[in-house]
Structure 1
């Protein structure tokens, strides 16, 4: 495979031998996928744009950071390593296919999965390749008769299946899922396979760690708990699956783990709270027919749940599942929310970033992309909701082109990150933005 790593002589050499307090080295900040690495202390009084960096490429993967470098992967196959201090490109690695897997950084290496089925391990400081592992192939989820379209013998790919599995690095292993329906655990230093587990569907969710187990969902709508050391199945929990229209099925988001609880959203329209040890249902929240496509953030008492068609961020009591409040995003939210101090930050598909008081849901700050402000194609109505007539016209089956119009609003598919006291976002058009906190007035 062609590998290009360009190293610029910019700034001091990166050290990844030890973890850095300001790092955000993996999807949702930690192995539990809690989104809470920055969730202590008081919230900033909003944010101010500090700098921008344009990748000039589509982006679905979320940014990560370690040792002074910000890593952003794009669908043109480029992984960018940006020196945060100088805001300059340190190195660029080019894979032979798009990258929709959020990278993970650990012990001096960075790992990610590309759409040609390669799990790459690079030196995080220089971008030099260390090893690669080939899966059985990566693809979008597809089904017959999807979204009620004719069953004409052709499977149709799901345009909302944005992501590939993001690696989990734990106990010397790299664990990730594949479209070939397997979960793999590789030796983190050599890439040698330690174990694999055959699930019942494509695995595009990021694995989460729960003590000695890995929790991961699949497109068969099941959640699996696997032994981290051996890959043995500890338990399996089946969520709902609509096989008639292939709409309300599949788990595409990572589960989040909090002590003895696992929280997992499903496209069957529910968020599930399961016992981490047994997989038994503690409670579930009904999203009223809306997908739960993002990973829930968790603080000491609350679970923050993004939804799609409902146009809501729902906040629940994490022990009982009782609804505390809804925040109307008005549009689909696929990006996962994160906690910054005692506030929540959520980025949405209409090019907005919201900061809320986590306890009450009171809006604290908002960013709107220039394209969202302009709304040149008129696909947002006066209430800020998608105008389906303008979006789809007379062809409701034209979901791919409709989704491209949405992306041109500066939509957020990638989740935010908290790096060196800055909020980092990357929109679907490939624009990286760093926001510095403002003091409360």
Structure 2
């Protein structure tokens, strides 16, 4: 292995407080990073799109009548935003030009294997939603009804394909649109008509806990790099597939953990975060061999980013870390105020989430939802991360967008 940062990095982190340049309070959890342009930042959170300048000052606020939680897109002079009720297109002055109607909603799961009893319940961990991908004169997005192609000029539906409930953002390649679904399948669709070119079905863990419904689902937007597509699942696997055929090239299994974040490619290495595995992982692109394992104090859901050879990752414990692949050094750059106040309550002494006891006055599902919501709120968990090469932008569970100087 080229570099490993093991438990001593977790127990004795090099903490350097990075400079918080500014923060902006939105109206809802910042589950998706803002769109960064030369005209500022466009953040979709709560029930609005917030246009900020690079100093965090609000330039304009475009209100919507529904929740939005995906990164907006600007293409051919249109501002495209995917919300609960479909895809919206706005002009530069904020006027709505068209609306392609569809209906999104939470992931609903059978409660028995979660310990919630009989019935169908909303998954409290499934807070991300599909963004918009564009190519030429077409916009693509996904929701509870599947995957859609929409004409940019008019908002007319070009095609719809039932890919099951799909909360990942479509990835557009030269010859296919890739959509990863909660039904545990990755679809390669024809951009022209939505025809299924191929379908890859991910495996599920075997053994004692194989029947748990929580292993089901491709919940992460795939990563397309050259002729290969990289795909993480809740089912503990990370796959490399041939983009042209869906043929499996290699797979890596992580014991008893979801793949927590989408993957990022840098220096012939694939980087991504684990959920209960509490680590940032690096794998060689060609072989899948493990090259980096950087222990984390908590779950990683936001995709990592890199600037000048340094890897940045953030956790649900409200912490931001910098990792140097060449030396294996990891240091903490930032911690949210809420995290500093509640850290021992939600993080075990040796690392890992410390879930509070279930509230006996609530139903099992309600108690689980409360556990998750209290953790997110009291840690001000970092749900999204992006960069413009000079600053890092952190989106938190309490609706804050933070700008950190690198």
Per the normalisation by structure 1, the TM-score is: 0.82
Aligned length: 383
Distance 2:343 2:258 in 1: 28
Distance 1:391 1:291 in 2: 22
User: Using a 3 Å threshold, how does the CA distance of structure 1 residues 300 and 209 change in structure 2: closer, same or farther?
Assistant: farther
Give the drift of 1:160.
Answer: 0.8
> Which secondary structure state, in structure 1, belongs to the residue aligned with residue 338 of structure 2?
helix
Equivalent residue number for residue 4 of structure 2: none
Distance 2:212 2:188 in 1: 28
Distance 1:151 1:241 in 2: 22
User: Using a 3 Å threshold, how does the CA distance of structure 1 residues 369 and 211 change in structure 2: closer, same or farther?
Assistant: same
For residues 271-317 of structure 1, give each alpha carbon's deviation from its aligned partner in whole angstroms, at most 9, with x where no partner exists.
11101111000111111121113210001310012111111111101
Equivalent residue number for residue 81 of structure 1: 51
Equivalent residue number for residue 425 of structure 1: 394
Give the drift of 1:364.
Answer: 4.4
8 Å Cα contact 1:175/1:207 also seen in 2 = yes
User: Does residue 1:316 correspond to 2:283, yes or no?
Assistant: yes
Equivalent residue number for residue 68 of structure 1: 39
Give the drift of 1:402.
Answer: 0.9
8 Å Cα contact 1:325/1:360 also seen in 2 = no
User: Does residue 1:148 correspond to 2:114, yes or no?
Assistant: yes
User: Does residue 1:277 correspond to 2:240, yes or no?
Assistant: no
User: Does residue 1:168 correspond to 2:136, yes or no?
Assistant: no
User: Using a 3 Å threshold, how does the CA distance of structure 1 residues 56 and 144 change in structure 2: closer, same or farther?
Assistant: closer
Equivalent residue number for residue 34 of structure 1: none
Distance 2:61 2:155 in 1: 22
User: Using a 3 Å threshold, how does the CA distance of structure 1 residues 128 and 420 change in structure 2: closer, same or farther?
Assistant: farther
Mapping of residues 4-403 of structure 1, within 5 Å: 47-75=18-46, 77-85=47-55, 87-115=56-84, 117-123=85-91, 125-135=92-102, 137-145=103-111, 147-152=113-118, 154-180=119-145, 182-199=146-163, 201-241=164-204, 244-375=211-342, 378-388=345-355, 390=356, 392=358, 397=365, 398-403=367-372
Give the drift of 1:189.
Answer: 2.1
8 Å Cα contact 2:299/2:353 also seen in 1 = no
8 Å Cα contact 2:317/2:343 also seen in 1 = no
Give the drift of 1:106.
Answer: 1.9
Distance 2:327 2:218 in 1: 29
User: Using a 3 Å threshold, how does the CA distance of structure 1 residues 380 and 155 change in structure 2: closer, same or farther?
Assistant: same
Per the normalisation by structure 2, the TM-score is: 0.89
**Gapped regions of structure 1 (runs ≥ 5):** 1-44
8 Å Cα contact 2:274/2:300 also seen in 1 = yes
User: Using a 3 Å threshold, how does the CA distance of structure 1 residues 159 and 208 change in structure 2: closer, same or farther?
Assistant: same
For residues 98-139 of structure 1, give each alpha carbon's deviation from its aligned partner in whole angstroms, at most 9, with x where no partner exists.
112222222222212212x2211122x43221211111x211
Distance 2:101 2:112 in 1: 29
For residues 372-428 of structure 1, give each alpha carbon's deviation from its aligned partner in whole angstroms, at most 9, with x where no partner exists.
11117712222242223x3546687522111111212110112x1212622111211
Give the drift of 1:167.
Answer: 0.7
> Which secondary structure state, in structure 1, belongs to the residue aligned with residue 321 of structure 2?
strand
Give the drift of 1:359.
Answer: 4.1
- Give me the CA root mean square deviation: 2.1
**Gapped regions of structure 2 (runs ≥ 5):** 1-15
User: Using a 3 Å threshold, how does the CA distance of structure 1 residues 299 and 56 change in structure 2: closer, same or farther?
Assistant: same
Equivalent residue number for residue 6 of structure 2: none
Give the drift of 1:361.
Answer: 3.8
